[in-house]
Amino acid sequence: MLKQIIFTITLLITIGVFSYTIDRLISFFRFTRPAFPVKDIGKRIMVTLAVAMGQTKIFRKPVIGLAHALVFWGFCVILFGSIEMVIDGLTGTERVLKVLGAIYNFLMATGDIFALIVAISIIIFLSRRLFFHIKRFEGIEMKKRSHTDANISLSFILLLMISLMTMNIGYVGYEKLSGGDIAGIYPVATVLVTLFKGMNAESLKIVYESSWWTHILLIFFFANYLPYSKHFHVFMSVPNVFLSRLDPLGKIPNMDNVTREVKLMLDPATAFTAAPEGVPVERFGVKDAEDASWKNYFDSLSCTECGRCTSVCPANITGKKLSPRKIMMDLRARMKEKGPLMVKNGRDFSDNRSLLRDFISEEELWACTTCNACAKECPININHPTLIIDMRRYLVMEEASAPGELKAVFNNIENNGAPWQYSAEDRLNWARDLEIIIK
């Protein structure tokens, strides 16, 4: 009974803290702009199954991609055991889901094997970060805090797997020595328990109980650490893939407010219609975090800072300042900075800083070629160019700020109706002295 009381109190604290964090993030989302409508549910499910569950894009780097996929699939299987632990903790039962029979045996065996596989994969990941210079893990945006955060998150996962394995070892060893029935199949634990031959049943029970509490408390703590970590993608990646933009990557979305204005101008009946009173004028493009769409912000929270986007960016490869990963990280950081102030003071609050220039420079934005290599490579379908384009729209439409070459094009379009500096009457001068033979 005491175990149930302690567990229930711990669970309620965990849920309370997590709910506070999520409510805080939701309050930030309320300041963002609308994005595309979420429809074509069938197509979205298929994309989610392929990209999120099947990890298809992660396999573009086959070896390390396989290790990452195994970690993801391992978590999916081990989640079943975690749910059972919560039920057992609340009700005081022991292996309550064993009533599932063969399904239970399969899931327990798979989870036991995956615990070892995930632990080995995490050791590989940690070794790569600590002892090898992986270029895509570096960059101006990758501060010491980012590397420390990655190492902490990976260490947590490793401890989770170790505690799970010792829990299974203690359980199998105790049941064998005490003559009890083992619920489930544990192939790895059955082999490793031979290393504990000198321990009696009571000692193995202590190993089991202490590992059980260690594992579940690590889960609770890790769940509340993740929203403040780059590994928040553990929760966000699957929903982000489901909410992917389904349009072709090269399609640049129109601005709704501009489209409305154009339609009004094309309708003679509305030529002299005055704008409605009291309606605030919308800002063109994105200057600050609240101007971004909810999907842009969702992307930023989902970003795991893996650097695959930046590693394929032609601008970055050729020495330009642009890093697609930095764009997402900057939006997340800016909303973290300004979001609480807007919650307290309202959407119109200004701290005399903005996402543009204070976080992201004009040089970075204009370096983008909109080739969409970053969006193509991202394992969870983050679309960086949509945010970059909207920030450039703000520069052009609100500040008339653009590189000199683009300004010349804009002037030519305004004066000549075409990107070239020649008037419409002179466009065919190149063919004036040509001899055309018609056969």
DSSP 332-364: HHHHHHHHHHHHHH-TT---S--HHHHTB-HHH
d(CA 249, CA 296): 15
* 2-30+61-232 and 256-272+281-424: identical CATH topology: no
d(CA 157, CA 122): 7
pLDDT at 341 > cutoff 70: yes
Span 390-419, pLDDT tens digits: 999 999 999 989 888 888 888 888 888 888
Nearest CA to 336 among 287, 293, 286, 300?
Answer: 300
Which structure tokens are listed for 410?
Answer: 């804009």
- The number of beta carbons lying within 10 Å of the beta carbon of residue 184 is 22
Nearest CA to 105 among 163, 185, 180?
Answer: 185
d(CA 165, CA 158): 11
Nearest CA to 215 among 122, 79, 316?
Answer: 79
- Reported CATH class of domain 2-30+61-232: mainly alpha
The architecture of the domain spanning 256-272+281-424 is Orthogonal Bundle (1.10)
Q: Can you give the pLDDT at residue 281?
A: 64
Return the bridge partners of 356, or none. Answer: 360
Q: Can you give the pLDDT at residue 111?
A: 95
Q: What does the pLDDT average to over 265-272?
A: 68
Longest CA–CA separation in the chain, Å: 104
Q: Can you give the pLDDT at residue 153?
A: 93
pLDDT at 309 > cutoff 80: yes
pLDDT at 220 > cutoff 80: yes
Q: Can you give the pLDDT at residue 375?
A: 96
d(CA 28, CA 191): 50
CB proximity list for 209: less than 8 A, separation 6 or greater: 170
Span 153-173, pLDDT tens digits: 999 999 999 999 999 999 999
Q: What is the CA radius of gyration of the chain?
A: 28
Q: Can you give the pLDDT at residue 274?
A: 57
How far, in Å, are 44, 157, 404 from residue 72 at the CA level? 20, 12, 48
Q: Can you give the pLDDT at residue 266?
A: 78
Q: Sketch the domain layout of the chain as residue ranges.
A: 2-30+61-232, 256-272+281-424
Span 43-61, pLDDT tens digits: 999 999 999 999 999 999 8
Q: Can you give the pLDDT at residue 423?
A: 78
Span 72-110, pLDDT tens digits: 999 999 999 999 999 999 998 989 999 999 999 999 999
Give this prediction's pTM.
Answer: 0.89
